[in-house]
Copies of this chain bind each other. A is one copy, B any other.
Amino acid sequence: MAAYLAANQTRFLDELMDWLRIPSVSADPKFHADVLRAADYLKARLEEAGVQNVEICPTAGNPIVYGEYLAAGPGAKTVLVYGHYDVQPADPYELWNSPPFEPVIKDEKIYARGACDDKGQVYMHVKAFEMMMRDGQGGVPCNIKFMFEGEEEIGSNNLEIFVKANKEKLKADVILISDTGILANDVPSIEVGLRGLSYHEVTVTGPNRDLHSGLYGGAVQNPINALCEMIASLHDENGHITIPGFYDNVDELSADERAEMAKAPFSEEDFKQSIGLPDSYGEKGYSSMERTSIRPTLDVNGIWGGYTGEGAKTVIASQAHAKISMRLVPHQTSAEITEKFKRHFESIAPQGVTVEVRPHHGGEPVVTPTNSIAYRAAADAMETTFGKRPVPTRGGGSIPIVAMFKSELGLDTVLLGFGLDSDAIHSPNEHFGVFNFLKGIETIPHFYRNYAAAQ
């Protein structure tokens, strides 16, 4: 295996970079043709690797690339691998040191939008499969189904429809996903908890047109000022969220559980340094690690209104807009929080403006079991390749489909990810370590073998 990987790693990287050149941005309709090209590219590479019955399955949105390898036979275990080939928008482009869709390797890292999230991690699976097929080390020990979607970054709406319609085809024993990270290259870890998401676009409307701030200023409610007031009121002075009932269903961890968590290797100093800030900040009474994992949060992801060009324009805008999202923890639900946010935000509109709240997509928080044979197979695989037992962690991000797979297919998920928090996913200069990419390819076959052998 090591020999095959060493002999082919340059080609593996070249193929990934070719794929990263296709700007498969799902959020922006102008990249639609590129999304389709990225799906075709993936299909071709899966077929070359030896995956069978590879199809581009149409949906109402972007297609799902599906393929399978069932040669282990009906008695063998089946793993359903999920990933996504769409990527986040790359703007602001001007902050990239090299263009987001012209991948380069610098300091042993691949820089490109999607390098880590999730094309790089999906491609580890394609190449791990190829390696099992060709390296003469015993082949593929279990059945594998691959399902890669193109709408993860915009809410996976059509994936759920696809899953509901194809329960027989997708039958498996466990889900395997590489779309998370490890604590550090010398501190392997496996995420066992994920936060949910409730995402909204809000519009505050005041006067029926943009007004001259000299002629009208002082006598009309300015929609931007109003929006700022409304947003400011969503947190109190302790960093708590003020939406009525927001914390009702939050799973509060016991002192013991928190003490256990605090043992994970996490350096507050390194955290602050990595983002260039003198102070961390957040909800009073919780550590940074807790704030990003076991506590729900609310952030403005974007805001715009009025004149934003060069120079000065003395205008009072007719409208102001923001994108506001909340990360949820067990046992909050996306539907519950969406409803509470919408009702509250509409109720706090000050005199003189009207407010519209448009929910985007949501996702449910999850905790995955650590006592399953699949989790142990993953932990053992990492221990083999990293030389250290991985730490179970609860992450702050959201992979909403994990909860959906549980409810629709009855399957638990193993989150065998190889990224790093510092990979700048969703940011300019996203990257993925060459070490991490290759370590993923090396580790995945061990997972299959451990899992196939386990009783």
Contacts and interface: CB of A to CB of B under 8 A. Distances in A.
Interface of A: 26-29, 88-89, 91-92, 95, 153-155, 195, 197, 199, 201, 206-222, 224-225, 227-229, 231-235, 271, 275-283, 288-289, 291-292, 295-297, 299-317, 320-323, 325, 327, 350-352, 360-361, 395-398, 421, 424-429
A183 to B, nearest CB: 12
B217 A303 contact: no
A396 B295 CA distance: 48
A421 B397 CA distance: 50
Nearest to A217: B297
A312 B211 contact: no
A391 to B, nearest CB: 16
Given A219-B288, A292-B217, A396-B217, A310 B28 contact: yes
A304 B227 CA distance: 12
B351 A281 contact: yes
A263 B330 CA distance: 63
A216 to B, nearest CB: 6
Contacts of A214: 195, 197, 327, 395-398
Given A155-B312, A307-B302, A281 B317 contact: no
B427 A210 contact: yes
A130 to B, nearest CB: 30
A428 to B, nearest CB: 6
9 contacts: A27-B310, A208-B276, A211-B275, A213-B297, A219-B282, A224-B300, A301-B307, A306-B323, A308-B321
A154 B312 CA distance: 6
Contact of A302 (B29, B218, B317): B317
A179 to B, nearest CB: 11
B314 A275 contact: no
A442 to B, nearest CB: 25
Count chain B CB atoms within 10 A of each CB in A199, A302, A425 and give the residue with the most.
A302
B207 A276 contact: yes
Given A215-B292, A301-B306, A313 B88 contact: yes
A425 B212 contact: yes
Contacts of A327: 213-214, 217-218
Considering the complex of A and B, which 6 residue pairs feature the smallest CB-CB distances, nearest first? A208-B276, A214-B397, A27-B311, A218-B297, A302-B306, A232-B232
A213 B398 CA distance: 10
Nearest to A235: B225
Contacts of A224: 231, 299-303, 322
Contacts of A396: 214-218
Contacts of A316: 299, 301
A271 B321 CA distance: 25
Contacts of A427: 209-212, 315
B292 A314 contact: no
Given A95-B210, A209-B427, 17 more contacts: A153-B311, A209-B429, A210-B424, A211-B426, A214-B327, A219-B291, A220-B281, A224-B322, A225-B231, A225-B300, A227-B303, A228-B228, A301-B307, A302-B313, A303-B303, A304-B304, A315-B427
A342 to B, nearest CB: 16
Contact of A426 (B92, B275, B313, B428): B313
A86 to B, nearest CB: 11
A209 B299 contact: no
B360 A311 contact: yes
Contacts of A229: 228, 231-232, 235
A299 B213 contact: yes
Contacts of A283: 218
Contact of A397 (B212, B282, B295, B296): B212
Given A210-B426, A275-B207, A426-B212, A222 B299 contact: yes
Contacts of A231: 224-225, 228-229, 232
A275 B212 contact: no
Contacts of A308: 302-304, 321, 323
B312 A199 contact: yes
